[in-house]
Amino acid sequence: MLREWIASRLTLCPSAARRLGYHRESAAITARARRQSAAWASHLANSHRVVSQAAQRFGRGGTLLVLGSGSLLDLPLDTLAPRFSRIILADIAHGPEARWRAGRDAKITLDLVDLTGTVADIVAGRPLKPHCDAYADVAPDLVLSLNLASQLPLAARGLVAAQEGETAADALAADIVRAHLDHVARLATPCLILADVERRWLDGQGRVLSVEDPLFGLALPGEPLATWPWMVAPAGEITRDRGFETTVAAHLMLPRPRP
């Protein structure tokens, strides 16, 4: 717990996002990855594989834009670095590992960005209008949306569920996912999307208790490349007798041909 607390204190995070606990969540994910290293190993290997394949195909010495870089767990930076002259790591929180890597490599830039467009409005109590126009002028060789689409709605959805109920919360969550997919499409460059497409809650014997749609009725665009299971939290990690796993999908979205 002390190590996790120190990591949260060292995490770069905008003040509005810090008020919502994004710095603590970033540190908690890293801590869970350490505790569940065996359960996460195949997921991380699969993520590294599909990201490396996309970099081999599209890395031409220009810019790599990583949306949802997080703790760099899913990102094979040592493989990617030789293929790009600039790597932009974009997230709402950057923990110690990302700060350390950026400090050692001049080609890596850390950007603090709210990819939902809702965080400041949540804190200010304003109506929520999901949007993101970041990086329209970057022209990257490759964009990665890295295990992000299903995570973006969580904070806003929880708030709205408590205030307005599940139906309104699910509608907002779908709007946030849709806004993200629209955002990466507008960037008009090859984009590899990794995202949870199904979430399953399990009992202590691994039997499925319930199934959730983490994309709230939306489908990932582009060509499906691979899917795999990810045991995120075995029983005992979150609660004593329940755990959850997801199905992760990798899709490659190519820019639409210009008329």
**Structure confidence at residue 68 (pLDDT):** 96
Rounded CA separation 187/58 (Å): 15
The residues pairing with 87 across neighbouring beta strands, listed in sequence order, are: 64, 108
Rounded CA separation 49/47 (Å): 5
**Structure confidence at residue 182 (pLDDT):** 96
Fold topology of 2-253: Rossmann fold (3.40.50)
Per domain, the residue ranges of the chain are 2-253
Rounded CA separation 168/247 (Å): 25
Spans of the chain below 50 pLDDT: 259
**Structure confidence at residue 257 (pLDDT):** 61
**Structure confidence at residue 184 (pLDDT):** 96
**Structure confidence at residue 258 (pLDDT):** 55
pLDDT tens digits, 145-173: 999 999 999 888 988 888 899 999 999 99
pLDDT tens digits, 238-258: 888 899 999 999 999 998 765
**Structure confidence at residue 204 (pLDDT):** 84
**Structure confidence at residue 235 (pLDDT):** 86
